[in-house]
Chain A
């Protein structure tokens, strides 16, 4: 294969069912969603030549390649940072294709995160979580103080922001209500047919007082999601309408880390997302107003606001008004997490919301944006982001 710059595109997406108890191994979930993505694209799994996942995915590349009969694996890598890795998988797949290193890059994330272990509970195998490469550098400074869960770390990160701008927990409820409305109309969502009201949100129990209630938190889920990335030219000859990866990047500014992110200068902003935004808008020549939809990592509701502000969809502190006035709705300025997000559809570590962005460009979402043609979609996982485009 000639080493010349090659535009990259998403040719296939695949997922398992999203559940609370998959009843099978994580490797099987990985194999099933990978096969689904290949079949969606019309690519033989034997021809996969690149494989990318998260550092904390439990399935081994070789074992998965053995399931799929991969003939010759040219490229493998894993991304650190927990869920912050989500959009960085697309970034690195794009880079590998751009550089002419791979033809068919498989991205996967599969987990029994509800039935086998639970991110939302106090840690069991304590040391495991604090290993390098997990992007959880300073969690060990939190644990003796009773901050033992992602919600506690996330609340501590959001507190200064919410104080400064007077964001109340009720304000956050508008995000949850919107995402559950989307999920209610999405048969793949765990909360299909189960919308909530603002009162439901306000009466859900405190997880982190006075910032996060239960309905501000993502789910814990079992399931797998895969994406097949190839060249734009090749994608044009495959089964689906290609989704061009117009740009993708990562940003980890000085003293920033994932979730236990208390050491950079200004805790009322998300500098990593600001860094991603700056590079992404420069790389694509686009602006927030060019996006017809966004898939934004929503482990906890305040982080949706911080990302909306970092990407320039609204000014600092105005995120709460943006969501309250229907900013995330189908007929609003930025339909967001139309699958239901990680709170409404499932928590497959951000990957399931990213493939919703692909469906929006294909025109196949259960909550399809119809008021305008979806030309561009932003996907963000905080430390990484991508702009997907109609080809």
Chain B
């Protein structure tokens, strides 16, 4: 007995993602749902226009519950970074660069800088968003050096 896949030419198996999927809370579900679709979005107050991160149910400036989900530019700079050596973080074959990204919209977001050698990372380096797969078929926004 053979199945169609058995007879197909053996394609190199894509490595399974090992990155831990995001922990999704109700107030941040919009963010991770959009990331799964490779969209980088943020929360903006529908009344006064304030961007907030981390997401929250109420605007701290005008107390509006009117949350707007808006696309973010995906452009930012490296505000600070670290390379976790010990213990080796779960889900990474090589030590990642973990960074606080200062986004154009004036909010900060913790992420990774990818496609960047450990000795290439610099403070205030411009970066742009891209996406990487996680376990359980999710995706998370990460950043790469602008122009790469």
* Cross-interface CB contact of A208 among B82, B100, B107, B112, cutoff 8 Å: B82
Contact with A along B78-91 (1 / 0, CB 8 A): 01111111110111
Q: Say yes or no: A126-B54 contact (C-beta < 8 A), given A145-B98, A209-B83.
A: no
* Cross-interface CB contact of A122 among B79, B89, B140, cutoff 8 Å: B89
Q: Say whether B140 contacts A145, CB under 8 Å.
A: yes
- Distance of A122 Cα from B79 Cα, bound (Å): 24
Q: Say whether B123 contacts A144, CB under 8 Å.
A: no
Is A165 close to B, CB under 8 A? no
Is A147 close to B, CB under 8 A? yes
- Distance of A148 Cα from B82 Cα, bound (Å): 12
Q: Say whether B86 contacts A260, CB under 8 Å.
A: no
The total of Cβ contacts below 8 Å across the A-B interface reads 116
**Across the two chains, which residue of chain A brings its CB closest to B23?**
A140
Contact with B along A123-144 (1 / 0, CB 8 A): 0001100100000011011111
Is A71 close to B, CB under 8 A? no
Q: Chain B contacts of A263 at CB under 8 A?
A: 53-54, 107-108
**Across the two chains, which residue of chain B brings its CB closest to A210?**
B83
Q: Which of A149-157, A189-197, A366-374 contacts B (4 or more CB under 8 A)?
A: A149-157
Q: Say whether B85 contacts A147, CB under 8 Å.
A: no
Q: Say whether B79 contacts A267, CB under 8 Å.
A: yes
Contact with A along B120-142 (1 / 0, CB 8 A): 00010000000000100000101
Contact with B along A144-184 (1 / 0, CB 8 A): 11111101100111011001000000000000000000000
Q: Chain A contacts of B110 at CB under 8 A?
A: 138, 141-142, 145, 147, 156, 260, 262
- Distance of A206 Cα from B96 Cα, bound (Å): 14
Q: Say whether A159 contacts B54, CB under 8 Å.
A: no
Distance to closest chain B CB from A166 (angstroms)? 11
- Distance of A109 Cα from B20 Cα, bound (Å): 32
Q: Which of A236-264 contact B (CB under 8 A)?
A: 254, 260, 262-263
If over half of B's interface residues share one DSSP class (helix, strand or loop), that class is named, otherwise mixed; here it is loop
- Distance of A121 Cα from B88 Cα, bound (Å): 9
Q: Say whether B23 contacts A130, CB under 8 Å.
A: yes
* Cross-interface CB contact of B100 among A156, A210, A211, A214, cutoff 8 Å: A156
Distance to closest chain B CB from A195 (angstroms)? 23
Q: Say yes or no: A163-B80 contact (C-beta < 8 A), given A144-B22, A156-B110.
A: yes
Q: Say whether A160 contacts B89, CB under 8 Å.
A: no
Q: Chain A contacts of B63 at CB under 8 A?
A: none
Q: Chain A contacts of B99 at CB under 8 A?
A: 156
Is A120 close to B, CB under 8 A? yes
Is B75 close to A, CB under 8 A? no
**Across the two chains, which residue of chain A brings its CB closest to B139?**
A144
Q: Say whether A144 contacts B134, CB under 8 Å.
A: yes
Distance to closest chain B CB from A117 (angstroms)? 14
Q: Chain B contacts of A156 at CB under 8 A?
A: 80-82, 98-100, 110
Is B144 close to A, CB under 8 A? no
Q: Say whether B23 contacts A127, CB under 8 Å.
A: yes
Q: Say yes or no: A146-B89 contact (C-beta < 8 A), given A137-B54, A163-B123.
A: yes
Q: Chain B contacts of A157 at CB under 8 A?
A: 80
Q: Say yes or no: A126-B23 contact (C-beta < 8 A), given A152-B82, A160-B79.
A: yes
Q: Say whether B84 contacts A152, CB under 8 Å.
A: yes
Q: Chain B contacts of A214 at CB under 8 A?
A: 86
- Distance of A267 Cα from B134 Cα, bound (Å): 29
* Cross-interface CB contact of B54 among A141, A160, A163, cutoff 8 Å: A141
Q: Chain B contacts of A155 at CB under 8 A?
A: 82, 84
Distance to closest chain A CB from B93 (angstroms)? 11
Q: Which of A149, A151, A208, A254 counts the most chain B CB atoms within 10 A? A: A208
* Contacts A/B (CB < 8 Å), 6 sampled: A140-B22, A144-B23, A207-B84, A208-B85, A262-B108, A263-B53
The 7 closest A-B pairs by CB, nearest first: A159-B80, A146-B89, A155-B82, A140-B23, A160-B80, A209-B83, A206-B85
Beyond A120-B87, A159-B82, A207-B85, 18 additional contacts (C-beta under 8 Å) are A122-B87, A137-B54, A138-B110, A142-B98, A143-B23, A144-B23, A146-B89, A147-B98, A148-B89, A152-B84, A155-B82, A155-B84, A156-B81, A156-B110, A208-B82, A209-B85, A263-B54, A267-B100
